[in-house]
Amino acid sequence: MKEVIAIIRINKMNETKRALADAGIYSLTARKVTGRGRGKINTLLLKGAENGYEEAINQLGSGPRLFPKRMLTIVVPDAKVPTVVKTVIEVNKTGSPGDGKIFVQPLLDAVRIRTAEKGDKALDENNEPVKT
């Protein structure tokens, strides 16, 4: 099994969740995070500053800033990794800096607390989402 970690734009979160569910991937964890890549400037702030918005001009400052993102953690059997990666890329690729990153790493084990199932059996593959 693998852990897929995807860092994506905030405004792509709902679309990404829907696309993953449509692909049969229902279980994920999402966190609010901040970070930055190679880019030195937030293009939205730059556009605001160019249009004369005082708030944007003040926020630009002189150094690199951290930008709000969403981090998705998705644990799936090895066979589903290509589906997860392809789906996340399809939804989040805009061709602009800041589209995000995907990291894939191996996991040694997983245990479902409720039933003590281990390994791939502890994952929610091939199951419909549970209504709570």
| pLDDT attached to residue 117 | 94
CA distance 32 to 66: 12
pLDDT computed for residue 97 by the predictor: 83
**How does DSSP classify residue 118?**
B
Quote the pLDDT of residue 41: 59
CATH tag, 2-38+66-122: 3.30.70.120
Q: How far apart are the first and last CA of the chain?
A: 26
DSSP helix/strand/coil, 87: helix
Nearest to 67 by CA among 103, 105, 101: 101
Q: Domain locations in the chain?
A: 2-38+66-122
Q: Could you count the other beta carbons within 10 Å of the beta carbon of residue 94? A: 11
Instruction: Give pLDDT, residue 115.
Output: 94
- Tens place of pLDDT for every residue, the chain, 132 residues? 999 999 999 999 999 999 999 999 999 999 999 888 876 656 666 677 677 777 766 666 656 667 889 999 999 999 999 999 999 999 999 988 889 999 999 999 999 999 999 999 998 765 555 565
Q: Read off the tokens for 40.
A: 């030195």
Please tell me the predicted confidence (pLDDT) of residue 11. Answer: 94
Q: Rg (Cα) of the chain, in Å, rounded? A: 18
